[in-house]
Amino acid sequence: MSVPRYWRETKYRYRLVGEMCVECGKVVFPRGAVCPGCGSADLEEVKLRETGRVVTWTVVRNPPAGYEKYSPFVVGLVELDDGVRVLSQIVDVELDEVETGMRVEVAFRRVKEDGPSGIIEYGFKFRPVIE
């Protein structure tokens, strides 16, 4: 990934930003060109809730290239409190402590280091809410 593209997208990596359909009110994430609910292209940026719960999850033991040093890790489907579902790594938790329905919140973490260019990408992950 080139540097300009990386920085152009930074805003969306550091905040959970989705879109809301002006026509039908559906919240869309990741951002798309049209509303999957009604097909309208009239979408507005909307900040998503940063807490939710784990719907389902799995342990990844054979990660894709660039993520080897994080193996094994947990990837979960998280339903945010506004109903949007996000697939994300779940951090700060032992593999045997993850459970369905667990409360989680957004944590911004290093995602991967981009080879010789030395660019470190950050993105959102989720961690358990300490209650």
Stretch that binds Zn ion, among 34-42, 71-79, 86-94, 122-130 (CB under 5 A): 34-42
Name which of 40 and 56 has its Cβ closer to Zn ion: 40
Name which of 35 and 74 has its Cβ closer to Zn ion: 35
Name which of 84 and 106 has its Cβ closer to Zn ion: 84
At 33, phi and psi to the nearest 5? -80, -35
The candidate with the shortest Cα–Cα distance to 78, out of 95, 59, 103, is: 103
Out of 16, 35, 74, 93, the only residue in the binding site for Zn ion (CB under 5 A) is 35
Beta carbon of residue 22, minimum distance to Zn ion (angstroms, whole number) = 8
List beta partners, residue 121: 112
Name which of 21 and 74 has its Cβ closer to Zn ion: 21
Do residues 59 and 47 make contact, with C-beta atoms less than 8 angstroms apart? no
- Separation between Cα atoms, residue 88 and residue 60, nearest integer Å: 12
| Total site size for Zn ion, rule CB under 5 A | 8
Does 38 help bind Zn ion (rule: CB under 5 A)? yes
List beta partners, residue 53: 79, 103
Does 86 help bind Zn ion (rule: CB under 5 A)? no
Taking the C-alpha atoms of 6, 11, 14 and 17 in order, what is their torsion angle to the nearest 10 degrees?
-120
Does 22 help bind Zn ion (rule: CB under 5 A)? no
Beta carbon of residue 18, minimum distance to Zn ion (angstroms, whole number) = 13
The candidate with the shortest Cα–Cα distance to 99, out of 125, 121, 74, 69, is: 74
Q: Which residues in this chain contact Zn ion in the complex, by CB under 5 A?
A: 21, 23-24, 26, 35, 37-38, 40
